[in-house]
Amino acid sequence: MPDKPEYLELLNDIRLQEYRAGIFLKAWADKTEHPGLKGCLSVVAERETSHGDIFDRRIRELGGTPEDKDDDLFHERLRVAESDMTDAEKIVQMREFQTRMTLPTVRMRYEEAAQDESVDQLTRSLIKWFTEVEDDSGASMRAVYAEIEGSQ
């Protein structure tokens, strides 16, 4: 196998982000009483965990080794998800966390990689598919959030 590609760090960052999102979204799904939110969060949490597995495998296929990195924002999100805050309060907090993400965000980096011809074709295809699933998950969550916010 040729040298390890330079974009392995990006794939690892995606892997970590997805695994961690699966954890805190499942924690929130387990806590909420809202049936629509519970269903949505459960599906998205399963997707996120699956994405973590897929990117873990891709890193290994490319000759890399997945690595863990500490992420204080993950711990804060998990604390909120597991808390007794209302769902509306959690939505506000989760949106606030989004504003604190380091730039460029992982999303910005993988959108760029999807167009970068120095990234192998299979990985670019994986990232494009992943982006579409993320878009669908985001749309589902925004719709349920709007329903909750509208009932306040």
Provide the CA 48 distance to its chain's centre, in angstroms.
Answer: 6
- For residue 96, the model assigns a pLDDT of 97
Q: pLDDT at position 67, please?
A: 97
Average pLDDT over the chain, rounded to an integer: 96
Q: What is the pLDDT of residue 56?
A: 98
Collect all residues with Cβ–Cβ distance below 8 Å to 47 and sequence separation of at least 6: 22, 133, 137
Give the pLDDT of residue 1.
Answer: 46
Per DSSP, the three-state class of 107 is: helix
Question: Rounded mean pLDDT of 18-34?
Answer: 98
Helix axes 87-99, 72-82, angle to 10 degrees: 170
pTM for the predicted model, two decimal places: 0.94
Task: Identify the band that residue 2 occupies on the pLDDT scale cut at 50, 70 and 90.
Answer: low
For range 38-62, the mean pLDDT: 98
| 3.40.228.10, 1.20.1600.10, 1.20.1260.10, 1.10.10.10: CATH of 8-150 | 1.20.1260.10
5 Rama class: left (phi>0) / alpha (psi -120 to 50) / beta: beta
* Beta carbons of 90 and 28 less than 8 angstroms apart: yes
Domain boundaries, the chain: 8-150
The answer to whether the CB of 92 falls within 8 A of the CB of 33 is no
Q: What is the DSSP letter of 4?
A: P
Q: Locate tokens 């969060």: which residue?
A: 41
